[in-house]
Structure 1
């Protein structure tokens, strides 16, 4: 059995996670192996199905095919999907303000910045006026609003990905445990927001997809569809699902003719993060002291500069995503665009 092995950031991991959702990719996690360990031992320790050790070979050039051959000290790239749940790292991809992390089996909270890897048992918390976003393999994501606390650890004998202690969270394709209740996405691309009031109740709102609510014995209590919410007081069953008013972005302007010379599109910030709207600002100057357009567009709307109804000229443009909780993320860096024909 492999000893002294620990998970580290693979050299290309951030680039793999940042690839467009439409691109074919395999999420990889780096594993550092001690001298003398074998591939079979590493597989037995870290893979859900150790017999699939051969699937590690294509991602590690020069690795011997003999699974019992002693390895030098090296780093292996392992498909994340093969790893046992406790070894699947999450990456802190966004940290605003004071964001703290606590390693498993420790009590000290330390300030962290984006790029940090979080593993099973690690805690993450945001202080006042702070926010954090953790991305897991594929499109799975957890976002913490101010004054929130989450533990990336499954409760014993359950299949939940993490537990939340207090605060507000935006969740995508991740199962969550709160007090005595669990939330399981039933469909791909399920996104939901969750508010946990310690020693009181949990509220969950489903923005897309479908979510199952289960008790600590894994009994299904409710199924929530998009646009519905439930409240679960501690120690009591969930309320009946009720509708909530989703964030409604302002209507986009009617598209104008598409000019070939306007090839550059307004970019969406972080395309892997579910958003409810995009806020676009256009200014005559780079410091945005002379704004000529400030408008929201739907999340699937990608306007070209020529479709904005502005007269010909040069403009500075920037965009900010608005998440499903209605919170606005920082603007992208300003980009100069030329409009060659008017409305």
Structure 2
């Protein structure tokens, strides 16, 4: 009996401890769930897109709410983002308030200029003249932005999305209630999650839980047709009551008064062309690479060289995305390409030569992308570094003398150049010492001889000097021009001059 009671007590204690253990586990689980939702709420709260406004003299919190908010009665929500009193009648002169974008009237929402490259102009809705765009400038409904040649403008929309306006573009900012719609009248825009309306199409990003970000470029050509290229996510392109979904890595074109064409694959990146093998339509492995350009590491052999263009090879098994007609090359002083010094679109058959550009000496970064026949631009390559040095080496010729006459059948050619230069005299390389000096014998023929001396540095720059040397036969002296004073007239004048000086000297002495 005692054993039964003891077992009962042990079992009861075990059940109680087990219950307490389960209760503690449940409490911990509820705590973690609470913290999860609290953290999620805080994240949502902190990630809200806010617009900063400056309170004018005499304005109160209620006055600000009446002017800016779609529903002024929601003014207490402003308190969550600002350290101010809850009294709506408080005067807040000069204070900058942060207000959630979703509360602000559409016409008062502002986009922000985040970056400017070269010349960018802005025209307000109520103004006629264009003004220079400035960093952090606010843009409102129906304000216009215009970029000039080789110029770019970065814009952040009211909802926090970004876009880059390309060269020679005209854009109207039109923030809507649920979207950041922008009108592109000419040029191009690279946008993230921003609807774009062109003269011939409407581009709407497809935002889903799996693809929360859509990155794409919209371009309006001179004939008003629209090109849409998608680099991430997907977009819907609508025209003439037809909508086409363009997935990542594809493009579509909308010609005037026509619906969008079916999506086609974008030109590949340079890395893909240069490194990956291609598979032909029969499924066989094609080892031949398309000769459209290679990425070369900027070592001492190819500094000053960007091996792009000049070749376009299509094998029999080439796929459709090899329909490449142009390449777009950019050269900048920084890795982020905020300071672009060269920006050009060129035919694929045109070999790129950086020495023929206006890029000055220095260290730069470059990248390139390909365009197909429609004008759709593929994925841009990663940046590569290049050292530009267009300065030719110094070269001085000490002997022979240009247009000099020499009796010997050989003449010594000597001079000075840069220590690391390579000197070529009439097609033959000569030794250059550590001080940059060189010397060599050159054979002459009777009459005129042309001696061509060239110095090349390691970067491919060249300096050339040409000399003319005349070889005369043995026994014939060089013709020397007679002095004027050796002619008969000169001798007479010399005698008279000397006599006059003697007479003057005698008179001076006797006097």
* TM-score category, normalised to shorter length: 0.5 to 0.7
Task: Kindly indicate whether residue 224 of structure 2 is the aligned counterpart of residue 229 of structure 1.
Answer: no
Structure 1 residues 240 and 325, CA, compared in 2 at 3 Å: closer, same or farther? closer
8 Å Cα contact 2:181/2:195 also seen in 1:
yes
Deviations 1:287-326 (A, max 9, x none): xx989xxxxxxxxxxxxxxxxxxxxxxxxx9877889865
State the alpha-carbon separation in 2 of the partners of residues 114 and 331 from structure 1: 28
What SS is found at the alignment partner of 2:87?
A: coil
| Aligned match of 1:104 | 125
Q: How does 1:198-217 map to 2 (within 5 A)?
A: 198=222, 200-214=224-238
State the alpha-carbon separation in 2 of the partners of residues 283 and 137 from structure 1: 45
What SS is found at the alignment partner of 1:53?
A: helix
Please report how far the alpha carbon of residue 168 of structure 1 lies from its aligned counterpart in structure 2 after TM superposition.
1.7
Task: Kindly indicate whether residue 63 of structure 2 is the aligned counterpart of residue 38 of structure 1.
Answer: no
Structure 1 residues 106 and 49, CA, compared in 2 at 3 Å: closer, same or farther? same
Which of 216, 220, 228 is the equivalent residue of 1:196?
220
Q: How does 1:1-343 map to 2 (within 5 A)?
A: 25-61=47-83, 63-137=84-158, 140-153=161-174, 161-187=181-207, 188-198=212-222, 200-214=224-238, 221-247=243-269, 249=271
Structure 1 residues 152 and 111, CA, compared in 2 at 3 Å: closer, same or farther? same
Compute the TM-score of the two structures, normalised by the length of structure 1.
0.61
State the alpha-carbon separation in 2 of the partners of residues 328 and 88 from structure 1: 36
| Aligned match of 2:23 | none
Structure 1 residues 72 and 106, CA, compared in 2 at 3 Å: closer, same or farther? closer
Aligned residues: 256
What SS is found at the alignment partner of 1:170?
A: strand
8 Å Cα contact 2:267/2:378 also seen in 1:
no
State the alpha-carbon separation in 1 of the partners of residues 114 and 120 from structure 2: 12
Unaligned runs of 5+ in 2: 1-45, 276-294, 305-362, 370-376, 386-511
Q: 92-101 or 238-247: which moved more? A: 238-247
Structure 1 residues 325 and 79, CA, compared in 2 at 3 Å: closer, same or farther? farther
State the alpha-carbon separation in 1 of the partners of residues 258 and 303 from structure 2: 54
Structure 1 residues 322 and 86, CA, compared in 2 at 3 Å: closer, same or farther? farther
RCO higher in structure (CA 8 A, sep ≥6): 1
Larger-gyration structure (1/2): 2
What SS is found at the alignment partner of 2:65?
A: helix
State the alpha-carbon separation in 1 of the partners of residues 122 and 382 from structure 2: 22
8 Å Cα contact 1:160/1:177 also seen in 2:
no
Structure 1 residues 320 and 198, CA, compared in 2 at 3 Å: closer, same or farther? closer
Bigger share in helix? 2
What SS is found at the alignment partner of 1:179?
A: coil
What SS is found at the alignment partner of 1:230?
A: strand
State the alpha-carbon separation in 1 of the partners of residues 79 and 367 from structure 2: 39
State the alpha-carbon separation in 2 of the partners of residues 184 and 236 from structure 1: 18
RMSD: 4.1
| Aligned match of 1:338 | none
Deviations 1:132-159 (A, max 9, x none): 211235651111221111111259x995
Please report how far the alpha carbon of residue 283 of structure 1 lies from its aligned counterpart in structure 2 after TM superposition.
8.8
State the alpha-carbon separation in 2 of the partners of residues 118 and 49 from structure 1: 23
State the alpha-carbon separation in 2 of the partners of residues 131 and 280 from structure 1: 28
8 Å Cα contact 1:160/1:182 also seen in 2:
no
State the alpha-carbon separation in 2 of the partners of residues 119 and 53 from structure 1: 22
Please report how far the alpha carbon of residue 130 of structure 1 lies from its aligned counterpart in structure 2 after TM superposition.
1.4
State the alpha-carbon separation in 2 of the partners of residues 248 and 180 from structure 1: 31
